[in-house]
Structure 1
């Protein structure tokens, strides 16, 4: 029976030009595509004309397709001999439930491949002209989720703040806008209020918006600028470079 296969494909942050060649080839070869809510239409447009496209939207705070149903669809289609692509925003293995899906598919005897994609946290800071790490400002980076699984304990933000301070780390927080005020309060127990912060909404897309602020003003900035999901919050000294990058671009345009 199990003549089909499933490929977990990272569609990147949204800009279709940020697709990897391997992701593009997988999308073009698919006979069934199960598409996440955050995948842009321009990316889905690369699917073959005969491919069956099924939207299985999943976004925090919104009505979502149950994860168990998505996994059942993948297994059924693969057992019917289909070349299934599970198309996910960003990277399948960074807060995308790719690990859970891989486990369920393997348990069902389905052949699975994974194609990495550019994650939104990387695309967000790159779009502002700064790096996630820098020898003078950040010795490492930590990717975090601000949305804890229902019934599970949340992250120890106070300990994370102390680690970021002591080890000079950049914190990249996904799905954190709705709980930004609580996260802000906990981070302020170890990080100074003047710590630079950037909030980037819809990274890499034409309607991208961002705000550069400080940790002490994070909650009020999000409210004032009406920033919403999907957004990435970047905390750390690397954000200081955003102003310098903007000034360099302005000088280049004026020259």
Structure 2
């Protein structure tokens, strides 16, 4: 029965997504001439309203903890765990303040959705060395503009048995080079909504987004040690919180 219902919910979620996406795409096109960082802040506000509507109409809900860990006037590299395609709609719109996400370039080729995707992202082709180098430079520009940079250090969705996969170096190298503090964020239950490996599946679920206290970074820090420390902090928190979730 759940298998049948999940497909019914998936069909409804797809219809809602497409219908609500059209006016959002128009708004994203309209803000194209606005200068940064104001344009990205408008993007975040529009995306947040869009996702709130989408969650409501598809029976999902979102609980957020730790907003007070963002200090006014401060910028952060926000690092998130990655379990599901639902993670992106939870991160960028609900991070307080203008922010951009490092994202796969191929997703920007999707008609209409690609316009929205490009507005909130630094695009990277992971198979292209020059693209990776250029994206790193653009992430520094985002931070220089006073915006947060959102990164998924696991790289791809976690399909392993590990609570959090091993991290790549990029976010931590960026933090040390720019001396930007890192703020860890953990998302819960997104895998229940859109499980990796499940075709045409959607299940209404209460999701959670927890922002942890920021970790201070200096240029004298060792990138590898910073990476290991953040992985430990996030893994331990994730495991402990899973025990408390329904």
Same fold (TM over 0.5): no
Report the structure, 1 or 2, having the larger strand content: 1
Report the structure, 1 or 2, having the larger helix content: 2
Which has more radius of gyration?
A: 1
Report TM bin, short chain: 0.3 to 0.5
Report which structure shows greater RCO (CA 8 Å, sep ≥6). Answer: 2
